[in-house]
Amino acid sequence: MKKSVFIGALTAAGLMAGAAAAGTLDDVKERGKLNCGVTTGLVGFAAPDANGEWKGFDVAVCRAVAAAVLGDASAVEFVPTTGKTRFTALASGEIDMLSRVTTWTFSRDVDLKFDFAGVAYYDGQGFMVPKDLGVSSAKELDGATVCVQTGTTTELNLADFFRANNISYEPVPVETNAEGQQQYVAGACDVYTTDASGLAATRAAFENPGDHVILPEIISKEPLGPLVRHGDNDWGDVVRWTLNALITAEELGVTSANVGEMASGTQNPEVARLLGTEGELGAMLGLDADWAKRAIETQGNYSEIFATNIGEETPIGLARGLNAQWTDGGLLYSPPFR
């Protein structure tokens, strides 16, 4: 009996590692479809809309990569992953890239053997409490029951924050954002903690968003971005530079509306290189010349993606803040297209 159990585990592990071979770019082209890991549902970042179509900030990054590589922004198979399953899914080759509000940390990059393709959203961990609790600072949360998604950096930051401030709490581990939301609404926990953007998205989905406040403390740095398997550098470059193309497009004033016009008659050499009318940047990536143009055409530049999914006009209502271009005092800074 012991033996048979062992074999089962080894088979599973063997299959898992077997699939994770190099050459993702070719695999994706051959398959004609990009397998992209997203959340199980976080409005604004990745959630199916009323028609069952995936929408959101993370989704747009997936679609941009699909548009650049395959020429079709809809050729994406969205694989919902939880905080627990996401890394196994990526490491095993079930998904080609993970675009799932995932924090770039040292151990994930180095020890778990992933490569982060850049930062798509600069976030930080916050706390949400019902207004009638009368709490105005996270330091007043001594003894509170806190809902936290398990398997996330949030869980570790939470432990660190309460230990550093020498106050106690009781964790209620939840698997998904939806479950956390449900527990919080049912009053099974006093506080819900996750990335501030996630809190805003969750609060927007409440019946009376005004009854809940997000506390001013941001207790961590959470640079969120897409990631790929370590060691497949060609594929990593494609994802990295697609993201950079979206950021650069905003910086250079290229939008989904004017991208066609800019491509045909621009005086700006960097725009020409970005959109493939000049130079061989696409070929260097193993793609055609129009790769970035297609990504921008279908998804819009960074500011358009931000505004339609999570910006101030949407129910989620996030300000650009740290996520403004470096020219506007934010942190977004794409290396040059040259």
Partner 1 sequence: MTTLTDPPGSTFRLSMLLNDTRYRSTTLQVIAFILLMSAIFYLYSNLATNLREAGLNISFAFLGTPAGYDINQTLIEYTSQSSNLRAAFVGILNTLLVAFLACIMATIFGVIAGVLRLSKNWLVRKLMAVYVEIFRNIPVLIWILIIYALMTIASPSPRAFRGDDATASMILDGAAITNRGVYVPGPFFTRGIGGEDGSVINWLLVIAVLIGSFVVTRMVTARANATQEATGVRPNTLWTNLAIWFVPIIVLLFILGLAWDIPELKGFNFSGGLKVGAPLIALWFALSIYTGAFIAENVRAGIQAVSKGQTEAAAALGLRPGRVMSLVVLPQALRVIVPPLISQYLNITKNSSLAILVGYADITATLGGITLNQTGRAIECVLLLMAFYLAASLIISAVMNVYNNSMKLKER
Smallest separation (angstroms) from partner 1 to the CB of 150 = 6
Sign of CA dihedral 323, 157, 101, 127: negative
C-beta closer to partner 1: residue 127 or 306: 127
Structure tokens at 208: 């009376």
Q: Of 76 and 79, which has the nearer Cβ to partner 1?
A: 79
Cα–Cα distance for residue pair 318/307, rounded to 1 Å: 9
Neighbours of 33 (CB within 10 A): 16
CB of 35 to partner 1, least distance (A): 18
Pick the closer one to partner 1 by CB: 34 or 135: 135
Going by C-beta distance under 8 Å and a sequence separation of 6 or more, which residues neighbour residue 216? 136, 137
The residue (of 87 and 306) whose beta carbon lies closer to partner 1 is 87
Binding stretches for partner 1 (CB under 8 A)? 1-3, 5-7, 9-14, 17-18, 20-21, 83-84, 87-88, 91, 107-108, 111-113, 133, 141-145, 150-152, 155-156, 158-160, 162-163, 169-175, 183, 186-190, 230-231
CB of 93 to partner 1, least distance (A): 10
- Which of residues 143 and 269 has its CB atom nearest to partner 1 in the complex? 143
Angular region, 253: left φ>0, alpha ψ -120 to 50, beta rest: left
Contact 224, 125 (CB under 8 A): no
- Minimum gap (Å) between residue 71 Cβ and partner 1: 31
Dihedral of alpha carbons 140, 181, 99, 309, sign:
negative
CB of 176 to partner 1, least distance (A): 11
Handedness of CA 228, 232, 233, 239 (dihedral sign): negative
